[in-house]
Amino acid sequence: MKGAAAGVVSAAVASGLSPRAFAAGSDKIRVGLIGCGGRGMHDTSRFLVAAENVELIAMGDLFKDSLDRCRAALTRQPKEGEDPNPIRDKVKVTDETCFVGWDAYKKVLATNVDVVILTTAPHFRPMHIRAAFEAGKHVFAEKPVAVDPVGVRSVIASAELADQKGLTFVAGTQMRRISHLVEAMKRIRDGALGTIQSGQCFRLGDAMRGWGPSQRRPQWSDMEWQLRRWLFMTWLSGDFIVEMHVHDLDVVNWALGGPPVQCFALGGRQQRTEPEYGDSYDHFAVEYEYANGVSVSYKGTQQDGISNPHYQHIVGTKGSARLDFGRVVITGPNAAEIAWDRFDPCLTQHADQIAAIRQGKRLNEGKRIAESTMTAIMGRMSAYTGRALKWDWVMNASKLDLAPPAYEFGTLAMPEVAVPGKTRLV
């Protein structure tokens, strides 16, 4: 990470950003982490090496064991012969600035942090984003930023509040900063494919059976059990099309210049039928229609033992582009192959935000990630209900709100698995 951080500095200077944005001195940036799971550790470790003079000073989580595990990992003393831990000395949290419980996020925001990293279960993202901007904090929010239309609309309003207050809002859609994808999108905009006609989006992966605790402990209430298995609870994760595949649908929106106008979807669960997998599906297929009648087919799975293609394919009148994590292949008269430069986009996204904060520049990705989140939510809603949906209705009229009756540890019925044709459209 130390070498990669140096690359961030070099790239930023080469692109015209002020060197002061990465210089040690009086421009210290104080960071707070809200959500201390694996993604919280990942984003914090990269945020702290993306620039000089950045410190983590506060942490918050619902559960003390998660916070303690994260804090220990970030401050780990390397064993003999191991490389130094580049962030250990940047972690300045104390017992007094570590907070646990339902109000932990409020306590982090009450400290003198400048920016917060939001990596809780996605259900909580809208309320945390809103609270952060109301408190005058810059926000880095992991994707997705909501699990239902009510949450998406809240995030869009919060993005407007960020602009009013001059605060930055960066989303964890790091694929937007992968070099070969950036170059491919530029060529698509410049007409390399001609007029876009159609597309495909594939992300077929395994069943994630090794994720999280597999057994419920006797002392865990219904609420705690669901929170600890949040990845498989639609009210907490949005289901995998929202929680994970928003990345891929965001790339499609990027290529098409905006979100779809309508969709129709199918889905269900055939492998992951055990109770510990909540109400989540294990496969989706969505036909999205974009402006000018452009149709994009999405297929996504979380199933074991099947083929696992993972790419986006955009077809135009002059050629096509196949995009994945490693490279882009363009066919037709403007044929090209563009490889990834191996530079970590997760570092770039944090360096961009830190530079914008220090230079007072506008950087607000809130509406964009909200629309990509809604693209995934709309597909899930269509699959769950069996109904074709229009973007305008979902964005402006749907009242779907997946919030539980109360935020407290206690009894909470396990949500029923959606059945197309029977599950009500809200």
Q: Confirm whether 2-175+346-365 and 179-341+372-396 share one CATH topology.
A: no
Residue 77 has pLDDT above 90, yes or no: no
Q: Please write the tens of the pLDDT for every residue from 100-123.
A: 999 999 999 999 999 999 999 999
Smallest CA-to-CA distance from 67 within 101, 24, 118 is with 101
Q: At 329, is the secondary structure helix, strand, or coil?
A: strand
Predicted pLDDT of residue 104: 98
What are φ and ψ of residue 216, in 5° steps?
Answer: -80, 130
Contact in structure between 118 and 128 (CB atoms under 8 Å): yes
Peptide bond into 144 cis (omega under 30): yes
Predicted pLDDT of residue 24: 34
Residue type, 194: G
- Which of 5-14, 57-66, 91-100, 279-288 has the weakest average pLDDT? 5-14
Predicted pLDDT of residue 10: 35
Residue in the block written with tokens 């000395």: 89
In the Cβ-directed half-sphere of 313, how many Cα atoms lie within 13 Å?
Answer: 12
Residue 5 has pLDDT above 80, yes or no: no
Q: How many percent of the chain have pLDDT more than 70?
A: 94
Mean pLDDT score across all residues of the chain: 93
Residue in the block written with tokens 């008269």: 333
Q: How many percent of the chain have pLDDT more than 90?
A: 91
| Per-domain residue ranges of the chain | 2-175+346-365, 179-341+372-396
Smallest CA-to-CA distance from 380 within 238, 225, 180, 178 is with 238
Cβ neighbours, 10 Å, residue 220: 16
Residue 342 has pLDDT above 70, yes or no: yes
- Which of 25-34, 201-210, 373-382 has the weakest average pLDDT? 25-34
Distance of alpha carbon 137 from alpha carbon 158, whole angstroms: 12
Region of 89 on the Ramachandran plot (φ > 0 left; ψ -120 to 50 alpha; else beta):
alpha
Residue 395 has pLDDT above 60, yes or no: yes
What are φ and ψ of residue 127, in 5° steps?
Answer: -70, -35
Residue 11 has pLDDT above 80, yes or no: no
Residue 423 has pLDDT above 70, yes or no: yes
Residue 320 has pLDDT above 70, yes or no: yes
Distance of alpha carbon 311 from alpha carbon 82, whole angstroms: 36
Predicted pLDDT of residue 84: 80
For residue 25, what pLDDT band results from cuts at 50, 70 and 90?
very low
Residue 45 has pLDDT above 60, yes or no: yes
Predicted pLDDT of residue 16: 32
Contact in structure between 353 and 140 (CB atoms under 8 Å): yes
Cβ neighbours, 10 Å, residue 72: 10
- Please count the residues of the chain: 426
Distance of alpha carbon 296 from alpha carbon 320, whole angstroms: 13
Cβ neighbours, 10 Å, residue 286: 26
Distance of alpha carbon 236 from alpha carbon 231, whole angstroms: 7
Predicted pLDDT of residue 1: 40
Q: Report residue 109 CA to chain centroid gap.
A: 21
For residue 85, what pLDDT band results from cuts at 50, 70 and 90?
confident
End-to-end alpha-carbon separation of the chain, Å? 46
Contact in structure between 358 and 27 (CB atoms under 8 Å): yes
CATH number of 179-341+372-396: 3.30.360.10
Q: At 141, is the secondary structure helix, strand, or coil?
A: strand
Residue 415 has pLDDT above 70, yes or no: yes
Contact in structure between 345 and 174 (CB atoms under 8 Å): yes
- For 116, the token pair is 């917060």
Q: Please write the tens of the pLDDT for every residue from 140-162.
A: 999 999 999 999 999 999 999 99
CATH of 2-175+346-365, one of 2.70.170.10, 3.40.630.30, 3.40.50.720, 1.10.3720.10: 3.40.50.720
Contact in structure between 271 and 282 (CB atoms under 8 Å): yes
pTM: 0.93
Smallest CA-to-CA distance from 124 within 140, 102, 109, 107 is with 102
